[in-house]
Structure 1
Amino acid sequence: MKDDLNAFLEIFEDAKSYGEGPLSGKTIAIKDNMLFEGHKATAGSKILEGFVAPYDATVVKKLKEAGAIIVGRTNMDEFAMGSSTESSAYGVTKNPHDPERTPGGSSGGSAAAVAAGLVWGSLGSDTGGSIRQPAALCGIVGLKPTYGRVSRHGLIALGSSLDQIGPFAKTVSDAELIYNVIKGQDPMDSTTISEDTYSARKKFGKTIGVPRDFVEKEGISEEVKKNFEEAIAKFESLGYGIMDISLPSLAYALSAYYIILPAEASSNLARFDGVKYGIHKDGENSIDDYFKTRGEGFGEEVRRRIILGTYVLSSGYYDEYYGEAQKAKEAITAELRQAFRSVDLVLTPTTPSPAFKFGEKSSPLEMYLEDIFTVPANIAGCPAISLPSGFSGKLPLGIELTADLGREDNLFKAGKDFLNEN
């Protein structure tokens, strides 16, 4: 396999099929934050350089049981903090449609590998859009399942209340096939849910809500707005009802996310001290060891978010920042759940612009704004899918559908309709 994109950090020489099943003979790549026994897993970071997984993540075990051929681990933003792969310690991944532009992130390698035809499908993790955003920028399908629908056992954690593993594929049908393999309750992850957790089923009424007050903001490119209106028109031509809805609390989603996520990340990443695994740097004493190991092992963006997370959890600021962010999370969740009483799906663009050039987003805030349409689904725990919806020149664009908790079936139905797979 020739990888000119730096989509892979490692191609497994021992790749093989482990059995017969629904994925027999299908080549799959896994993001570098998922454990595959006997293989390296670095989460795109120097601090885990050389770390070898001692066991299989649950999703890896399920892929193997289904007959998939796991061919390698893909590049990612360090510890999944980023939207471009630019924070990876192992170089950027190039977008297959334009090598001077980003494939998105943090699961940029997984998206690029599928888009370039290097593999049939792949797995990514999505904390605030890290599957859907690169799927849109690479012109493929990316699914973030309902929180708890897929086990996180064996996933190197970023934000434990937000992280979810999901598939990339070229079609909705293929993404659904991978999802059906990896989903399910897992005794190794107490946050996983049973199949009947959201068993109260409302019949799919083919009604789509459009939150125009949220979509029509400054900073959204004209080509994205035009493509979005074309997507609405296509759904209407397919017999879907379009309803304008108001979701005012979504205006606070990005701010709340960038308080909750760093807080959880600062806690999760406290375990990386160079004592039991990963790199170790000697200092004058044990405290100095800790400072040097983490100072040299973590990249700039990771250090920034750890500092921010520690700050918002500190005793003098907890209520003012973290407490308020949790209130916003509750309001966003309640508002979306209320909306799903009237509509089956909520439609937005996936990203505010097409793929951008490396180095173009010079400030962290510019990069954070890439997540404006994707973070609400993570905050509320809802399933969401990005569908390829056209091009701006040679650059792909995507639309996002969000469904009520446990209603991945609605996403698959609408996605297949939109992409003419039925």
Structure 2
Amino acid sequence: MTDLHRLSIRELSEGLAGSKFSSRELTEHYLKRIAKIDAQVQSYVTVTPEQALAQADAADALRKSGMANVLTGVPVAHKDIFCTHGIKTTAGSKILDNFISPYDATVVAKGKVAGLVTLGKVNMDEFAMGSTSESSYFGATKNPWALDHVPGGSSGGSAAAVAADLAPFATGTDTGGSIRQPASFCGLTGLKPTYGRVSRFGMIAYASSLDQGGPMARSAEDCAYLMNVMAGHDERDSTSVNIDADDYVANLNGTSVKGLRIGIPKQYFNVAGLDADVKARVEESLKKLEDMGATLVEIDLNMTDAYVPTYYLIAPAEASSNLQRFDGVRYGYRCENPVDLTDLYKRSRSEGFGPEVQRRILIGTYALSAGYYDAYYVKAQKVRRLIQQDFLKAFESVDVIAAPSAPTTAYKIGASLDPVEMYLGDIYTIAVNLAGLPAINAPVGFDKDQLPVGLQLIGNYWSESQLLSVVHQYQQATDWHTKRAAIAEENA
């Protein structure tokens, strides 16, 4: 039973249903792998073996009673931005290092109802602000493909855990690419759903109009299984849309690639800084889709130059508002021996927040301040609407839009990128969040250093089934999603 981590979600489900192995055996297998390998990867912040084994035993009892769901007993890792009852929830920050959540996020609660076994909470950039997972208070997570490189961010722990076979799939969140970019860097499939498709209740907020939870796994099929759990209306989330979710697994072959119109934005393939290997692998994947019957259509997305400045006004502005609740009074980190209330606020926040979070709070507060609100924040919201309209016009002539997920492969840990350079690395992903659209990353090969490259497909609203289906069919014709880093081949 040393190769359980090589099985797909469907194979795990069938194995559990056929009593080839129990959920306890499967859970113990993953816990042993985490204990052996994760010291090198540092993907987990908190591992919960006692709770995991108790959930596994309960899942096995359900199997015996005939009351099991399709995923009952399958392990999962949760990004440490989702509140988990009785388990530390940190959002990668010192300010929440001592926070034990008194409730479950809706995504976590739905996972429990589905019978998923929680292995633990995985690392992330602090408050989801970053593209490398280096800003975490708990240290940098490593990319399983090259341990001296980053796994991407902010869902870098989720990506690294799956890529190292330390969890079969994981939850992530995406505010400006935080599912798609780490999936690209770690050779995984990752779906950012339409805004409002997955509940944000219990998901610690960064930028409320941009944040969205989604699945990360090796394949589109594996993502579809987790998406079936995560998606759906939640009356506790005012931004959750009351539209029935699809059966994403049943719809995996629902979209024919033959005749699919794929938009190729010429502006995206002329971006300064687009790595030659990345461009080549993406173009090869598009040629493969063309060979499968798709039609490539050149399109214009004229607002491309506005993506980064628009996003980096709106997201920090919302962050400055959302993060004011961390004041050292009610919960979380509190400075020692404050002399008065002002000192308590100042030192708790300056000691509790890392430099990237402080930077974005300052940018956002400035953009919202009197005299600058209209010049910056209001103008950015107007440009945001133009970006959305740019996409909607494109979707009048194409079914999906193709792009790289990132202009480069994974950076080296500690690379001397200044903040602006790092922000420019989000050029291909942030517009999707500004417009509220769904998008997916699929692994499509490697660069000269054998680091993974990702293709991004962007869909129209509520087209998650279509995106998963297209990638699923691409993955039936290719094997990039089956490639594993050397560290993932280690047996427990």
Same fold, judged at TM 0.5 (above): yes
Determine the C-alpha separation between the residues in 1 that align with 2:261 and 2:194: 20
Q: Which moved more, 1:15-24 or 1:174-183?
A: 15-24
The aligned counterpart of 2:43 is 7
Q: Which moved more, 1:278-287 or 1:259-268?
A: 278-287
Q: How does 1:29-48 map to 2 (within 5 A)?
A: 29-48=77-96
The aligned counterpart of 2:375 is 320
Matched, 1:153 2:201: yes
Matched, 1:221 2:275: yes
Q: How does 1:322-337 map to 2 (within 5 A)?
A: 322-337=377-392
Provide closer, same or farther for how the CA distance between residues 203 and 111 of structure 1 changes in structure 2, counting only shifts above 3 A: closer
Q: How does 1:15-414 map to 2 (within 5 A)?
A: 15=52, 16-17=55-56, 19=59, 20-195=68-243, 205-281=259-335, 282-392=337-447, 393-414=449-470
Q: After superposition, what is the alpha-carbon deviation per residue over 1:285-321, rounded to whole angstroms, capped at 9, x for unaligned? A: 1001100000100000000000000000011111111
| Structure 1 residue identity aligned to 2:327 | D
Alpha-carbon RMSD: 1.6
Q: After superposition, what is the alpha-carbon deviation per residue over 1:245-266, rounded to whole angstroms, capped at 9, x for unaligned? A: 0011122111100000000000
CA drift at 1:370: 1.7
CA drift at 1:421: 6.6
Q: After superposition, what is the alpha-carbon deviation per residue over 1:3-38, rounded to whole angstroms, capped at 9, x for unaligned? A: 120000011021124653222221110011101100
CA contact (8 A) 1:101 1:356 kept: yes
| Structure 1 residue identity aligned to 2:373 | Y
Determine the C-alpha separation between the residues in 2 that align with 1:67 and 1:358: 37
More helix by share: 2
Residue segments in structure 2 that go unaligned for 5+ positions in a row: 1-33, 60-67, 247-253, 479-492
Q: After superposition, what is the alpha-carbon deviation per residue over 1:177-222, rounded to whole angstroms, capped at 9, x for unaligned? A: 1011110000110111122599xxx987511000012221111111
CA contact (8 A) 2:48 2:120 kept: yes
Residue segments in structure 1 that go unaligned for 5+ positions in a row: none
State the aligned residue count.
Answer: 419
CA contact (8 A) 1:361 1:367 kept: no
Determine the C-alpha separation between the residues in 1 that align with 2:255 and 2:91: 41
| Structure 2 residue identity aligned to 1:266 | S
CA drift at 1:367: 1.0
| Structure 2 residue identity aligned to 1:153 | F
CA contact (8 A) 2:267 2:304 kept: no
The secondary structure found in structure 1 opposite 2:441 is strand
User: Equivalent pairs: percent with the same residue?
Assistant: 47
CA drift at 1:141: 0.4
CA drift at 1:143: 0.5
CA drift at 1:144: 0.4
CA drift at 1:224: 0.9
Determine the C-alpha separation between the residues in 2 that align with 1:194 and 1:177: 21
Determine the C-alpha separation between the residues in 2 that align with 1:153 and 1:45: 19
Matched, 1:416 2:472: yes
Determine the C-alpha separation between the residues in 1 that align with 2:183 and 2:110: 23
Determine the C-alpha separation between the residues in 1 that align with 2:354 and 2:183: 25
The secondary structure found in structure 2 opposite 1:371 is coil
| Structure 2 residue identity aligned to 1:321 | Y
| Structure 1 residue identity aligned to 2:93 | S
CA contact (8 A) 2:281 2:444 kept: yes
The secondary structure found in structure 1 opposite 2:401 is strand
Determine the C-alpha separation between the residues in 1 that align with 2:443 and 2:244: 31
The secondary structure found in structure 1 opposite 2:440 is strand
Larger Rg, first or second structure (1 or 2): 2
The secondary structure found in structure 2 opposite 1:102 is coil
Determine the C-alpha separation between the residues in 1 that align with 2:237 and 2:441: 26
| Structure 2 residue identity aligned to 1:355 | A
The secondary structure found in structure 1 opposite 2:391 is helix
CA contact (8 A) 1:214 1:251 kept: no
Determine the C-alpha separation between the residues in 2 that align with 1:197 and 1:231: 29
| Structure 2 residue identity aligned to 1:88 | S
The secondary structure found in structure 2 opposite 1:419 is helix
CA drift at 1:335: 1.2
**Runs of 4+ in structure 1 displaced over 6 angstroms?**
none
